[in-house]
Structure 1
Amino acid sequence: MGLFDLFKRQSELEQMYDYDLLESTSERIHMKRLAIQICVNLIARTISQSEFRVKNGKKFIKNELYYRLNVRPNKNQSASQFWQTVIYKLIHDNECLIIKSDSDDLLIADDFYRQEYGLVEDNFKSVTIKNYTYSRTFLMSDVIYLEYDNEDLSKLLNSLYEDYGELFGRLLEYQKYKNQIRSTVDTDDVQSKDPKKREKMQKFINDMYASIKSKAFAIVPQQKGFKYEEHSKPSGSGQTVDDINKITNGFLDQVAKAVGIPPALVHGEMADVEKHTRNFMTFCIDSLLKKIKDEFDGKFFSKQDYLNGNSMDIRRVTYRNMFDVATAVDKLRSSGVANGHELRDELGMEESDDPIHDKYVITKNYSETVEGAAEGGEKE
């Protein structure tokens, strides 16, 4: 009889496992993906506001290339969308390939294979754009190819996330454990083999769990042979949600530093915001624009054209307007340090046809003292 009782208890246990009494409420937190999105999108949005100008000597011209780079690169993208995609792929994938179609559209490759050589041009095969793959081979001189860094940023971030992610996951699981509602359900109906009866019991359990999760106050009706009891303990001291936020912000800071963004900018801090913005534009945005300018100068202009003064000029967005620097502009103009054209160029304005801007002007306050006159006096 003892052996029979053992078999009976095992049978009851197997039937009890058929009920879905435990429910997983865990969800995956994409801390790494969020940090990359925040940093890369900030850079992409900033560069997408730049103006790509074609310089012919001292004049800026508006031609087909200007239109493609600033208005409509291809039939399906605006210029801002195009450049956001370019910068995102450049930083996230460490490289970006742009080709020119037969209709002069500029297209961003989604996938390609690069064959590298030492003494001759590299070539690109299997260039894929959305659902179309080119059968032809593109030479390096036929495409715009940009590289972000010597080492793939995604590999560095993956290595960094291994440590942060493990710590983040442990803190998150602890918070779930500390605030978890733990309960048990006692039922006498573990030997029932009636499918309808078991289905009815399972539906009652599911409805009970749903009510407890979604409502601040949930009433569980007691039934014969069915008992629900909670065993949760009040949460004590220990790690808090602030600790989880510190881990997330710490990883975000490391990602921001890796791409050249001052961490204070991604956190929205207002203290010394002008200083942080200047560093961001100088060490992050300007370096990326320099990569783009060098590639454009080498692909859109021949060596002789470039030496004759033809080049690309990328005018990035500025965090100041002309009214903020009006006093400085006045000083530079009145002291004869710069003429009107030079100042207009620095302000992002086109050259004027007025010949007055060709002259260097020195006001009386900066002119030399006339011999025999008092300091600061005027010539009779």
Structure 2
Amino acid sequence: MGLISWLQEKLGGQAVPVSGEGLAEDIDEYYQAYADVYYRELAFWSTVNTVANAVSKCEFKTYSGGVEKKGAEYYLWNVEPNKNQNSSGFIHKWIAQLYRHNECLIIEQNGQLLVADSFIRTPYALYDDLFAQVTVGDFTFGKTFSQSDVLYWQLSEKDMRKVTAALYASYSKLLAYSMKAYQKSRGTKGIFNYETLPVAGSEQRKAFDDLLTNKFKTFMSAGDAILPLGTGQSYTDIGSKTYSSESTRDIRAMVDDISDFTAKAFGVPPALLHGDVQGVNEVTDQLLTFCIDPLTCMLEEEINRKRYGKSEFLKRNYLQIDTKSIKHIDLLSVSTSIDKLISSGAYSINDIRKLCNDEPIDADWANRHMITKNYTVADLMATMEGNDETAEKE
């Protein structure tokens, strides 16, 4: 694919101004289109990578009879989905396809999970959808897959990438105007006076043309320079670097706006893409609540209904995507909370060690739930208070 074709694809089919030889007729417009593409790509892939990084940190837990078990299914999702990808690479491609195309297809072949690069879906109302021309890498499967044989997700009813692309089309004009205004405010303008125009083809005309096309350009771009002029020629500077209110920070803010639009479209807090460290815990909680948790819930629902089914799920055999490992845990800062979780009997020591990404202790006492003497059953407390009142009356 040539550069022009690539640009047209990224611009949603929008024509790029080129000549028959593939060169831009308007070089400023060409480079503006080129820059617009990368502004969009930077915003989009920063958002997608943020989500993919978060999901890849999750643990895909497998349960049998409601008890967590680590077997072949656990290894498949958490370590090696297929021969050519580890779990992190597999999840990044999975999430990228889902956000790029608003849908994603995963097939299983010979015990391997493969993310499809492209496919043709034929939807039906009362029967299984069909998936044909499923391509993974450079290989296209000759068979047609049924909905019940694959894992298929649709991110949302409306393709938000197309929505943001339409927004970019309008916003890019404003961004281009700001760049031109900045360049204009920093430009150099002047008037060149000459008495007569030399005869075409003469040595004087060649020197005159060289002065206009080369020497003036070198003179204006140099820090310190002298411009030699001939008889009857003079130059007057009329607009050297006006330095108006436009600045590169204004342009940078508009580029950040593109990231903000994209992040909001996919439920990611814009502050994460900016790299802001202030209030990072609150921002991370917002990411988990409004983006990652709903996304992983959708992913695990499809996995459970296809790979386990109703009968197994009701027997409490299922997969769960645990998002607790996304946030970094500073043990010193949460030591008080850990003490409360253990002393209240809510979690065992091994439960806490797993939450902190530490290996469990291979001992029965580490799996027991402990409680301090401060706690007691509510109805038992009421009985004890009743006995105290009886004793006082006697």
Report the TM-score range of the alignment, normalised by the length of the smaller protein. 0.7 to 0.9
Of the three residues 130, 133, 157, the one matched with 1:126 is 133
Q: Distance in 1 between matches of 2:142 and 2:156?
A: 29
Alignment match, 2:123 = 116
Change over 3 Å in CA distance of 1:57–1:204 after alignment to 2? farther
Q: Is the 8 A contact 2:185 2:244 kept in 1?
A: no
Alignment match, 1:95 = 103
Alignment match, 1:291 = 298
CA deviation string 1:142-172 (max 9, x = no partner): 1111111110011210222233222212111
Alignment match, 1:68 = 76
Q: Is the 8 A contact 2:63 2:319 kept in 1?
A: yes
Change over 3 Å in CA distance of 1:204–1:284 after alignment to 2? same
Q: Distance in 1 between matches of 2:191 and 2:343?
A: 84
Cα offset, 1:95, TM superposition: 0.9
Q: Distance in 1 between matches of 2:219 and 2:88?
A: 48
Please state if 1:192 is matched with 2:201: yes
Please state if 1:162 is matched with 2:199: no
Alignment match, 1:378 = none
Alignment match, 2:276 = 269
Of the three residues 40, 46, 52, the one matched with 2:54 is 46
Q: Is the 8 A contact 2:187 2:241 kept in 1?
A: no
Cα offset, 1:115, TM superposition: 0.2
CA deviation string 1:268-299 (max 9, x = no partner): 22222211111111211111111111111112
Of the three residues 139, 153, 159, the one matched with 1:146 is 153
**TM-score of the aligned structures, taking structure 1 as reference length:** 0.77
Q: Is the 8 A contact 2:107 2:151 kept in 1?
A: yes
Cα offset, 1:122, TM superposition: 0.2
Cα offset, 1:129, TM superposition: 2.2
Q: Distance in 2 between matches of 1:56 and 1:209?
A: 79
Change over 3 Å in CA distance of 1:293–1:156 after alignment to 2? same
Which structure 2 segments of 5+ residues have no match?
1-24, 389-394
Q: Is the 8 A contact 1:188 1:226 kept in 2?
A: no
Aligned amino acid, residue 326 of structure 1:
S
Q: Distance in 2 between matches of 1:219 and 1:363?
A: 88
Change over 3 Å in CA distance of 1:226–1:188 after alignment to 2? farther
Percentage of matched positions with identical amino acids? 31
Q: Distance in 2 between matches of 1:165 and 1:285?
A: 30
Q: Distance in 2 between matches of 1:142 and 1:246?
A: 47
Q: Distance in 2 between matches of 1:135 and 1:267?
A: 45
Aligned partner of residue 99 in structure 1, secondary structure: strand
Q: Distance in 2 between matches of 1:204 and 1:129?
A: 59
Change over 3 Å in CA distance of 1:337–1:25 after alignment to 2? closer
Change over 3 Å in CA distance of 1:125–1:251 after alignment to 2? same
Q: Is the 8 A contact 1:56 1:310 kept in 2?
A: yes
Q: Distance in 1 between matches of 2:197 and 2:138?
A: 59
Q: Distance in 1 between matches of 2:303 and 2:220?
A: 58
Cα offset, 1:235, TM superposition: 1.5
Q: Distance in 2 between matches of 1:213 and 1:108?
A: 55
CA deviation string 1:48-94 (max 9, x = no partner): 22222322224433333333322232333322122112112212221
Q: Is the 8 A contact 1:189 1:225 kept in 2?
A: no
Cα offset, 1:175, TM superposition: 1.3
| Count of equivalent residues | 349
Q: Which moved more, 1:174-183 or 1:265-274?
A: 174-183
Aligned amino acid, residue 54 of structure 2:
T
**Where does 1:166-181 land on structure 2 (aligned, <5 Å)?**
166-181=173-188
Which structure 1 segments of 5+ residues have no match?
1-21, 375-380
Q: CA RMSD in A?
A: 3.6
Alignment match, 2:256 = 249
**TM-score of the aligned structures, taking structure 2 as reference length:** 0.75
Q: Is the 8 A contact 1:99 1:142 kept in 2?
A: yes
Cα offset, 1:140, TM superposition: 0.9
Q: Is the 8 A contact 1:90 1:147 kept in 2?
A: yes
Aligned amino acid, residue 168 of structure 2:
Y
Please state if 1:333 is matched with 2:342: yes
